[in-house]
Amino acid sequence: MFDPSLSIRKPWVLLCFSLFAMVLSHCSLLPTPSDPRFTALEPGEELAGGATTVFDTGPNAFAFSARNMSAARRTDFLVGNSFFEQNWVIAPASTQGRDGLGPLFNARSCSSCHLHDGRGRPPRNQEGMVSMLLRLSIPGQDPHGGPLPHPTYGDQLNERSVPGVPGEAETRLSYTEVPGTYADGTPYRLRRPQIEIHNWAYQAPSQALAVSPRVAPAMIGLGLLESISEADLLTNVDEADADGDGVSGRANFVWDAAAGAHRLGRFGWKANQPNLRQQTAGAFLGDIGITSELFSAENCGEGQDDCAKAPNGGQPELSESMLDQVTFYSQTLAVPARRDADAANVLAGKKLFYEAKCTACHVPSYTTPVREDFPELSNQKIWPYTDLLLHDMGEALADHRADYRADGREWRTPPLWGIGLLETVSGHMELLHDGRARGVAEAVLWHGGEAAAARERFRAMSATERANLVAFVKSL
């Protein structure tokens, strides 16, 4: 049920604030009817990625390099792009430098999950997992406070394998329909996923195995997110909810293997990776079975003898320069410009987005600091709509699998930029960490925990208001 007290939890605060706002006509915190942010575009608002922004709206909209990049650096980008798309082959092979696939893997290339640099999705019918994967762990923590891998199956289920080595298991995904109604009586249906793992190749794990399903996120603007200053992100942390708005926001601190220290986590659905280089090396090993200097041991677990005996493609299989080039590629993919950002319904939806306090987590914008090594990412006003922090999203979205400081109910606020182009780029709108939401409205309706009040404000909106809010999100 919609609880009307949620929207006016502290009437006296609102009253004082309104009086204050009347005195200060340019109050920048509380949206007022005359707030210029909701009647016209703010400077640069349509340029989601600052000067990196590109203007393509077709199926390749996510695949461009930063628009402000020099020609020489664009060549490096294209080299990285080719390694991102290249299929790895089984070792030994005559094609030196791209053999070593597996022995256990999920896919043969980065782009098979991040197709067109877009988003993965859950499998349909009986197709098996293609651009989604399952993270695994058992109770406890590794020496750095991270998830404790299963001794045999490791920290990620690898359904595929080279000949002579069994794939680890098979998965089956099904859905239960969950009915609900908006406050105006309009019905809706959500789908709740269930994942079963069967045909384990080795001994079946105990009940205590934690399983976290995750689809591949889009690749746009990641270097910009990596560039946001740590201080800017940490200002939004409010662990004890000192401001009493019901939204806390916690930073994840995760192991940075190259630095040999804990660092702020920014990437992955639980902010479990500190930077794009480690994320990339981790993907090479975990998803494709390609070792690097950073992660040099094949992921063959206890008792996986065929895996351990399979030939490799060199030690390590990935050269440092290739890792650098793919990392550079991930850092310099552009962000597409917003579409119809100044349309009346979009601006009305923007106001509702602020009023519903979606901005408590989906923080609209930042200015990146100067990065000596990345002129194109430096000093850009960007609009990612995320705080990159962890939030308790309630029981319905919980995976019950801790990931460093993230507990089993917490997820990182995902950036919303580019979300309106997903349909065109990736051919679907299956949102949230496991792709359960079929579109923006369903994604919001799954919000719980710290975001329950925002969800209820959405549920209480009229049909026109809901459509405007969705139009705003899809203009991002």
Which tokens go with 159? Answer: 């359904």
What is the x/- site pattern for ligand HEC, positions 217-256, by CB under 6 A?
Answer: x----x------------------------x---------
Place of tokens 């999705």: 121
Question: With CB under 6 A as the contact rule, which of the stretches 7-15, 70-78, 144-152, 447-455 interacts with ligand HEC?
Answer: 447-455
Q: Which residues of 215-248 are buried (b: 16+ CB within 10 A; e: fewer)?
A: bbbbbbbbbbbbbbeeeebeebebeeeeeeebbb
Q: Which of 54, 46, 183, 167 is nearest to 105 (CA)?
A: 167
Tell me which of 269, 295, 374, 383 binds ligand HEC, using CB under 6 A.
Answer: 269
Q: Contact between 157 and ligand HEC (CB under 6 A)?
A: no
Tell me which of 326, 382, 429, 445 binds ligand HEC, using CB under 6 A.
Answer: 326
Tell me which of 110, 136, 173, 382 binds ligand HEC, using CB under 6 A.
Answer: 110
Q: Contact between 330 and ligand HEC (CB under 6 A)?
A: yes
CB 272 within 8 A of CB 254: yes
In this structure, is the dihedral angle defined by the CA atoms of residues 450, 456, 457 and 458, taken in order, positive or negative?
A: positive
Q: What span, in angstroms and rounded, lies between the C-alpha atoms of 256 and 245?
A: 33
The DSSP output letter for 284 is: I
- CB of residue 260 to ligand HEC, shortest distance in Å: 21
**Full DSSP string of 18-47:** HHHHHHSTT-SSS--TT-GGGTSPPTTTT-
Q: Contact between 388 and ligand HEC (CB under 6 A)?
A: no
**Total residues at the site for ligand HEC (CB under 6 A)?**
57
Q: Contact between 304 and ligand HEC (CB under 6 A)?
A: no
CB 37 within 8 A of CB 348: no
Question: With CB under 6 A as the contact rule, which of the stretches 21-29, 167-175, 309-317, 448-456 interacts with ligand HEC?
Answer: 448-456
Nearer to ligand HEC among residue 203 and residue 286 (C-beta)? 286
Question: With CB under 6 A as the contact rule, which of the stretches 25-33, 127-135, 146-154, 202-210 interacts with ligand HEC?
Answer: 127-135
Q: Contact between 451 and ligand HEC (CB under 6 A)?
A: yes
Q: What separation in angstroms does the CA of 122 have from each of 128, 199, 406? A: 9, 20, 23
Q: Which of 302, 297, 295, 252 is nearest to 277 (CA)?
A: 295
- CB of residue 121 to ligand HEC, shortest distance in Å: 11
Tell me which of 341, 397, 425, 429 binds ligand HEC, using CB under 6 A.
Answer: 397
Tell me which of 48, 63, 382, 432 binds ligand HEC, using CB under 6 A.
Answer: 432
What is the x/- site pattern for ligand HEC, positions 74-103, by CB under 6 A?
Answer: ----------x-------------------
Nearer to ligand HEC among residue 117 and residue 376 (C-beta)? 117
DSSP SS3 for 262: strand
Q: What span, in angstroms and rounded, lies between the C-alpha atoms of 115 and 112?
A: 5
Q: Which residues of 46-76 are buried (b: 16+ CB within 10 A; e: fewer)?
A: bbbbbbbbbebeeeebbbbbbbbbeeebeeb
Q: Contact between 331 and ligand HEC (CB under 6 A)?
A: no
> Cis omega (within 30 of 0) on the bond before 147?
no
CB within 8 A of 235, min separation 6: which ones? none
Nearer to ligand HEC among residue 376 and residue 450 (C-beta)? 450
Q: Contact between 107 and ligand HEC (CB under 6 A)?
A: yes
Strands 132-141 and 170-181: unpaired
Nearer to ligand HEC among residue 57 and residue 236 (C-beta)? 236
CB 214 within 8 A of CB 133: yes
Q: Contact between 284 and ligand HEC (CB under 6 A)?
A: yes
Q: What separation in angstroms does the CA of 41 have from each of 33, 348, 365? A: 15, 12, 14
Nearer to ligand HEC among residue 188 and residue 305 (C-beta)? 188
- CB of residue 243 to ligand HEC, shortest distance in Å: 13
Q: Contact between 283 and ligand HEC (CB under 6 A)?
A: yes
Q: Contact between 216 and ligand HEC (CB under 6 A)?
A: yes
Torsion angles phi and psi, residue 427, rounded to 5: 75, 20
Residues at the contact surface with ligand HEC, assessed by CB under 6 A = 84, 106-107, 110, 112-114, 120, 131, 133, 135, 214-217, 222, 247, 267-269, 272, 276, 279-280, 283-284, 287-288, 326, 330, 353, 356-358, 360-362, 391, 393, 397, 411, 413-414, 419, 431-433, 440, 443-444, 447, 450-451, 454, 458, 469, 473
